[in-house]
Amino acid sequence: MIRKILPIGMALMLAMPAAQAAEGDRQWMATGSEREDALKLQPDYENGIDVYEVCTACHMTEGWGSEDGTFPQLAGQHWQVTIKQLSDIREKNRDNPTMYPFALPRSIGGAQAIRDVADYITKLPMNPEPGLGAGTDLELGAKLYKDNCVQCHGENGEGMPDKYYPRIQGQHYKYLVRQFEWIRDGKRRNANPDMVKQIAGFSDKDMQAVMDFVSRQKPPAEMVGEPGWENPDFQ
């Protein structure tokens, strides 16, 4: 089936003022949002394919993103997480000027479209060869992950969909590093405030080590595509 692609400082952090902390909580879990509407809907798989056409120019037809980390892998992500992030971008709770025009209702539709594309994305097989780091500090990365990340992201980076904690296993290393740095440095407004506090004291070396470790964690075998797999929905 051929489908036409549409145009297109630890101490400082721990001493965070109450008002700033409250704003962080609001940005992380806004209530009365489109997210809540989308979560209640039943997905339409075929419409999910149509909506995903808008995403393919950057995230690729396979949903594998780019190894250089410019665009993340979407394939296999929990649909609840995708709904939250799309809703946050549309409601300007997450700054993403590149993606914002493509996420708007006039580009992809309303809450139903968000539900549909999130369902489609979660069923795409994941990239078997994600971008990795240097592999020189994996022991440090493993320790940092165990001490700081397991409670939210799980033993193997599988995430927790009911709490909107993303699947980070097998994600491109350079994308992980960029997002980690933005969260640590207060540049991602919809970051979980608990995570901001947890990683505030990480050095760049720590950050690189733990994200390298995460990128190498393997999703379940049944979720991973074959090398060179091409999405038949866009052939």
Helix, coil or strand: residue 165: strand
pLDDT digits (tens, 9 = 90+) for 194-226: 999 999 999 999 999 999 999 999 999 999 999
Nearest CA-CA partner of 61 in 116, 112, 129, 125: 125
Residue type, 25: D
Percent of the chain with pLDDT over 90: 85
pLDDT of the residue at 8:
36
CATH match of 1-235 with 1.10.760.10: yes
Average pLDDT for 177-191: 96
The backbone torsions φ and ψ at residue 160, rounded to the nearest 5 degrees and listed phi first, read: -140, 100
pLDDT digits (tens, 9 = 90+) for 20-66: 444 555 555 555 579 999 999 999 999 999 999 999 999 999 999 99
- Kindly tell me if the per-residue pLDDT of 122 is higher than 50: yes
- Kindly tell me if the per-residue pLDDT of 135 is higher than 60: yes
For the chain, domain boundaries: 1-235
